[in-house]
Structure 1
Amino acid sequence: MSTTPEERARQEEADDNPLADPEFRDRLRELPPSAKLVAKVLEGEAPLSQGQLAEESLLPDRTVRYALNRLEESDLVGSRYSFHDARKQVYYLSS
């Protein structure tokens, strides 16, 4: 079955931006507002550490930690060790 150019364009956009993926958005919709804000911040500036996320989102560290835990439970966020500081983890949206 062939896809239309519009469908291909939507798929390419979803590959570049997980928030454009309808399934990703459905899973995100069920999470608290803090998790949605953290995801939106990660959309523009990933990867970021927990401290950087707190600074960019203006949320307390504890709230960012809670949001990241909820996002990770839903498989919406991935993490890896920072190349600049191996003691820290950085977070990014997973597709």
Structure 2
Amino acid sequence: MSTHAEKQAAETPLSNPDFRERLRELPPSAKLVAKVLEDETPLSQGELAEESLLPDRTVRYALNRLDEAGLVESRYSFRDARKQVYFLVE
């Protein structure tokens, strides 16, 4: 029998073959941002830049590419309604 943590890890978007195939076509920065979002979500653009060690401009580009591929969505932050936070699409 699997534990809750194992089951939850198995159900991440990155474990979905269709998600992985669409991600495969994207640049490395988008793959890194997706991996960071898999581990910690939701995150703002600034938080993604901190976690990934990528420049803000590169994170913005990566998020745009992920959004165009239908792999990421955003909503307003509950902590600061001026900011958007991003999460992977299930």
TM-score (norm 1): 0.84
Q: CA deviation at 1:62?
A: 0.1
Do structure 1's residue 79 and structure 2's residue 74 form an aligned pair?
yes
Count of matched residue pairs: 84
Task: Kindly report the root-mean-square deviation, in angstroms, between the aligned alpha carbons of the 2 structures.
Answer: 1.5
Unaligned regions of 5+ residues in structure 2, if any? 1-6
* Native 8 Å contact 1:13 1:20 kept in 2: no
**C-alpha separation in 2, matches of 1:14 and 1:55:** 23
Match for 2:51 among 56, 61, 75? 56
* Native 8 Å contact 1:14 1:21 kept in 2: no
Q: Cα gap change, 1:15/1:51 in structure 2, threshold over 3 Å: closer, same or farther?
A: same
Q: Cα gap change, 1:15/1:86 in structure 2, threshold over 3 Å: closer, same or farther?
A: farther
Residue by residue over 1:23-78, the C-alpha shift from the partner in whole angstroms, topping out at 9 and shown as x without a partner, is 00000000000000000000000000000000000000000000000000000001
**C-alpha separation in 1, matches of 2:80 and 2:25:** 33
Find runs of 4+ consecutive structure 1 residues off by over 6 angstroms. Answer: none
Residue 26 of structure 1 aligns with which residue? 21
Task: Indicate the SS of the match to 1:84.
Answer: coil
**C-alpha separation in 2, matches of 1:71 and 1:14:** 21
**C-alpha separation in 1, matches of 2:71 and 2:51:** 19
Unaligned regions of 5+ residues in structure 1, if any? 1-11
